[in-house]
Structure 1
Amino acid sequence: METHVAVLVLDTPILGVAETFGDFGDNVCTLLQDLPFPLVKYQIAFDDYTSEANIAQTDATLVQLARDIDSKVVRGVVLTGSRSDLFATDIPWLVLLDRFIQDVLLCRAGFPMVGICFGHQVLAKNLGCKVGRNTAENGWEAGIHTVALNKSIVDIELSPFRKALLTADGKLLEHINLVQFHMDVVYSNPPATSTQPLLAATTFQNVGNTPKCSIQGLITELGPIKVLTFQGHPEFISDEALAMLKRLYDNGSMDKASYERLAYKTSNLENQGQLIGQVIRDFICTYYDTLA
């Protein structure tokens, strides 16, 4: 099998959305289609997560992924979003994924890991961050929102943000508009100490913030563990975001006033997910060939 980046699909197709836009894995592959090497989807989550056959399939997939990472066939991973409960202890595929992150991904120096929304949260959880439900006051962060970027992310050595955020007049963007769909948040950066040697030698920065979410992503500042995550959904185009908002309204998860306000905002703000796609591509490319 040729070398590639693995896209770990952590949800199943959403009825009424996937028929038009594809599943989360499809969205990631479209966002990163300009990578100079292949992307391969791996299904990790299943609707019937108690099925012994599905549990066995997830386990076998993760075992094979570990082997392919060891043999350098897989040279990076992207963890997608998911509707699952990050804090659940009775979802076997999530238990297996946590173990895979701890025993495989966080034991590989220089191996690029990208997390999107739920993928961001599950990586952060395993890095030791405090994660939890957002406050009732904040509730859903949904549709397109403006993220204030931390200026220091461009000063990181080999920063993937430097090129992407540079404007035609030589300035750096300080804000970006990204699709968001989440009620859970990461509350803290990874702790400064860890019993895991590679993690203990790695420091991280917060990518940015919004009024509803103070940590909008993580990036390795210094050290052997290479992580880049985003709370937002750079892989969602605006039409998909509008369809997701309508779904939340239709199933009673959002009131009419909130839906109309967020739909208007999403229809009118520029969606800069493609810019973050460039950041992710540059990040993966930086480390992909070093693993040869």
Structure 2
Amino acid sequence: MRIGVLIAGLTAEKLTPEWGQYDRFFATLLERSGEPFSVRGWRVVEGEFPEGPEAADGWIISGSKHGVYEDHAFIPPLKAFIRDAAAARAPMIGVCFGHQIMAEALGGRAVKSDKGWGLGLHEYESLARPGWMAETPERLSLPAVHQDQVVELPPGATRLATSPFCENAMLAYGDPERPWAISIQPHPEFTAPFARELIALRRGDAFPEDVADRALAGLDAPGPAHDGAWAARWFRDFLFMHKK
């Protein structure tokens, strides 16, 4: 199955040699699902777009340092692509910025939250567990790196997971048992070692020192394991639901 990754933000240059860009992150995550996927990235943040939704069998929209409400040249065509993919019912997965811009493009709203940065491992409560999320634990722990949040759901979207910090942490579009798109605010594709390097690199710059220090301590503290493996299975089962 051909998966296209719309790369809306680039990994910091210092981290790229070891970790690569978002297409590598998502290829690695999908490998954990045990099924073969062919993954290709398009750097939409640099103006590189696929010809249309038919260029892949499914789409993942990545995170970004940018806000969906900011004035960047790539944002209007990315929203247009999302609307075209929605009209074609091409399966889509949005992650972090991808979660936010999908909501914006499809009639919801995302803003810079007055709650500040969500950083490090955050715990989320599953509100609904449709068949493609079967056996998912009631509580999940995933890396978060965001200060923007979806505050208004688009028409036809259902909240699947929440937390005290982030109310709309995961959404399904359409019938939750067979959604045509899903999106999630945290980063299941980030490993704890990558999250640690990213937070340490941007500590005192993008991230306030006290917030970064708490996040770094939380990555090493005993508690719920990082549940990226669950997300790999969600993504697999969601995408294979639409396999032609």
> Secondary structure at 1:207's aligned position in 2?
strand
Q: 2: CA distance between counterparts of 1:204 and 1:86?
A: 18
CA deviation after TM superposition for structure 1 residue 121, in Å: 0.6
Which residue does the alignment assign to 1:170?
none
Which residue does the alignment assign to 1:106?
86
CA deviation after TM superposition for structure 1 residue 149, in Å: 1.3
Q: 1: CA distance between counterparts of 2:188 and 2:206?
A: 25
Which residue does the alignment assign to 1:187?
151
2:215 paired with 1:243: no
CA deviation after TM superposition for structure 1 residue 11, in Å: 1.3
Q: Number of aligned pairs?
A: 239
Query: What stretches of structure 2 of length at least 5 have no aligned partner?
Result: none
1:74 aligned residue (56, 75, 79): 56
2:228 paired with 1:264: no
Q: 1: CA distance between counterparts of 2:161 and 2:80?
A: 28
Asked whether the equivalents of residues 5 and 22 of structure 2 are also in contact (C-alpha less than 8 Å), the reply is: no
Alignment-mate amino acid for residue 78 of structure 2 = L
Higher Cα radius of gyration: 1
Considering fraction of residues, name the structure with more helix: 1
CA deviation after TM superposition for structure 1 residue 247, in Å: 2.0
Q: Report 1:1-292 matches (<5 A).
A: 4-33=2-31, 34-46=34-46, 55=47, 58=48, 61-62=49-50, 64-66=51-53, 69=54, 74-89=56-71, 91-102=72-83, 104-109=84-89, 111-135=90-114, 138-150=115-127, 153-154=128-129, 156=130, 159-163=131-135, 165=136, 173-191=137-155, 203-222=156-175, 226-251=180-205, 253-255=207-209, 257-268=210-221, 269=223, 270-289=225-244
Cα shift readout 1:193-240 (whole Å, capped 9, x = no counterpart): xxxxxxxxxx32112112211000111352886111110000000011
Asked whether the equivalents of residues 119 and 212 of structure 2 are also in contact (C-alpha less than 8 Å), the reply is: no
Q: 1: CA distance between counterparts of 2:206 and 2:145?
A: 15
Cα shift readout 1:65-121 (whole Å, capped 9, x = no counterpart): 34xx1xxx52110111111121113x111111111112x112113x21100100111
Query: What stretches of structure 1 of length at least 5 have no aligned partner?
Result: 47-54, 166-172, 192-202
Alignment-mate amino acid for residue 99 of structure 2 = H
TM-score by length of 2: 0.91
Alignment-mate amino acid for residue 20 of structure 1 = E
Asked whether the equivalents of residues 112 and 148 of structure 2 are also in contact (C-alpha less than 8 Å), the reply is: yes
Inter-CA distance 12–260: structure 2 relative to 1 (3 Å threshold) = closer
Which residue does the alignment assign to 1:50?
none
Identity of aligned residues (%): 21
> Secondary structure at 1:146's aligned position in 2?
strand
Q: 1: CA distance between counterparts of 2:77 and 2:206?
A: 32
Cα shift readout 1:28-73 (whole Å, capped 9, x = no counterpart): 1110124333121122113xxxxxxxx4xx2xx33x234xx1xxx5
